Amino acid sequence: MKQSSVLVGRLKFIILSLLGIYLFLIPITVTDDKGNPETSLPVAFLANTALDWIGDYAGLIIMLLICVSAVMSLIYSTAFSSSTKRTITNELFNVNWIWVVVRIIGAIFAVFIYFDFGPGVVINENTGLMVYNDLLPTLLAVFFFAGLFLPLLMDFGLLEFLGPMFAPVMRPVFKLPGRSTVDNLASFIGDGTVGVMITSQQYEQGFYTRREATVIATTFSVVSITFAIVIAQTIGLMDYFFKFYLSVIISCVVAAFIMPRVWPLKQIPDQYSNGSTEQLNEKIPKTHNPITWGFEQATEKAVKSPGVKQFFINGIKTILDMWLAVLPVVMTIGTIATIVAEYTPTFSILGAPFVPLLELMQIPYAKEASETLLIGFADMFLPSLLISDVPSDMTRFIVGALSISQLIYLSEVGGVILGSKIPVSLGKLFMIYIIRTIIALPIIVILAHIFF
């Protein structure tokens, strides 16, 4: 590389990565509507400001986005189902029939709620109306700014810089190759679904074994900081966001240490997609140490990073993907699950055996908390939605942090895993979900008792 290109690459890596860290990781103090100071993150502040600006139009925008997703998915998945072109529209709308049905149901629910007609179980303030008015507007705004600014963390060398420094601990601690560090960080910092897609490609290309790919997808594909912000806002604990996300990280790291050493992940064969069992060799060159090698890799990444125009084009693509793929799923799964929770004793029955355990852990409102433990397998937002009215900060903290730490939820990450090339079944995903819950719950409870 030319010296000038290297200098530009280094500057882009340092400046833009620091800007990304500031937007997504550094707490700031802002004033609420009543003039009281509160803690937030810059990206959350931007999202809230945007919501205040668009006001009542948020509901209309959400309804139109979900309807467009449903109609276009129906068209593309029928008339253009055989198309393999890598166009934006084809990637957004050419999905399998299950997701088409989910998007259509989401559009029906959105129309019912926006125009205030239809079944009472859907437009009830504790079911569809709650999802539509309380959750989706926040997602609408947060997805916009996250989609626009996440490349600052992902595309300018930050992950490449951190990767080599963590590589020496990956194999002995997590039983994973060093190259998975960037993948895992992308999942933690960016988005779990992105991590799953990276992992699937790496497995197909022969860089991960079947066991490694499954471990990464089911252990490190945590929802992004963006989603954690949404959860913290939903349960009213943005003032505790640092402690909240720290609890998530600690519980997930402990789970990542234990899970590869127990069934079912331990029994998955270490076999590459081509049938080979010979482990790949990844070493830092002898002429470098982890810091200098990471800096060199980061510089190279920044040199090849997109320009201003492509940066915004990529951001718009990400925003559209989040809006048109995630919003309908949350509308559908969230409404159906809250209907089940509101009108049937299903989750009370499933959660009843956990009540004595939660009471033993001295968790306030143990019965209400127990009803959220298994519902998260359907969608990660649901536990927080169901617990949001409980008066105990500690209980809301525990349920919110646990819902993120459970990791596998079918409305997004779990669905992406099942649709990927990674060979893992629905039943195995559910068992991994249960085991993660058993590991994470006591850790989060201990931390909650310390913080509260």
Task: Give residue-wise pLDDT tens across range 18-40.
Answer: 998 888 777 787 776 666 776 67
Q: Reply yes or no on whether the pLDDT at 197 is more than 70.
A: no
Q: Reply yes or no on whether the pLDDT at 105 is more than 90.
A: yes
Q: How many whole angstroms separate alpha carbon 204 and alpha carbon 121? A: 44
**Predicted pLDDT at 147:** 79
| Nearest to 251, CA basis, from 88, 41, 399, 46 | 399
Q: Are the C-beta atoms of 222 and 404 separated by less than 8 Å?
A: yes
CB half-sphere exposure, 96, CA atoms < 13 A: 6
Q: How many whole angstroms separate alpha carbon 186 and alpha carbon 222? A: 10
Distance from chain centroid for Cα 190: 8
- Rg over alpha carbons for the chain, rounded to the nearest Å, is 22
Task: Give residue for tokens 């990956």.
Answer: 170
Q: How many whole angstroms separate alpha carbon 140 and alpha carbon 130? A: 15
Range of weakest confidence among 117-131, 253-267, 274-288, 372-386: 274-288
| Nearest to 401, CA basis, from 431, 432, 369, 424 | 369
Mean pLDDT within 365-377: 89
**Predicted pLDDT at 243:** 93
Opening angle at CA 288, ends 285 and 292, nearest 5: 130
Task: Give residue for tokens 């998955």.
Answer: 268
* 346-376 core/surface letters (b: 16 or more CB in 10 A; e: else): ebeeebeebbeebeebebbbbebbbbbbbbb
Q: Reply yes or no on whether the pLDDT at 450 is more than 80.
A: yes
Give the other-Cβ count within 10 Å of 63's Cβ: 22
**Residue 296 corresponds to which tokens in the numbers above?**
């060199």
**Predicted pLDDT at 255:** 94
Mean pLDDT within 125-150: 84
Q: Reply yes or no on whether the pLDDT at 186 is more than 70.
A: no
Q: Considering the entire predicted model, what is its pTM?
A: 0.72
Q: How many whole angstroms separate alpha carbon 390 and alpha carbon 141? A: 26
**Exposed, middle or buried: residue 185 (CB in 10 Å: 0-12, 13-18, 19+)?**
buried
Residue 344 is which amino acid?
T
**Predicted pLDDT at 258:** 95
% of the chain at pLDDT higher than 90: 29
Q: Reply yes or no on whether the pLDDT at 182 is more than 80.
A: no
**Predicted pLDDT at 33:** 67
Q: Reply yes or no on whether the pLDDT at 287 is more than 80.
A: yes
Q: Reply yes or no on whether the pLDDT at 346 is more than 80.
A: yes
| Nearest to 93, CA basis, from 316, 318, 319, 325 | 325
Q: Reply yes or no on whether the pLDDT at 280 is more than 90.
A: no
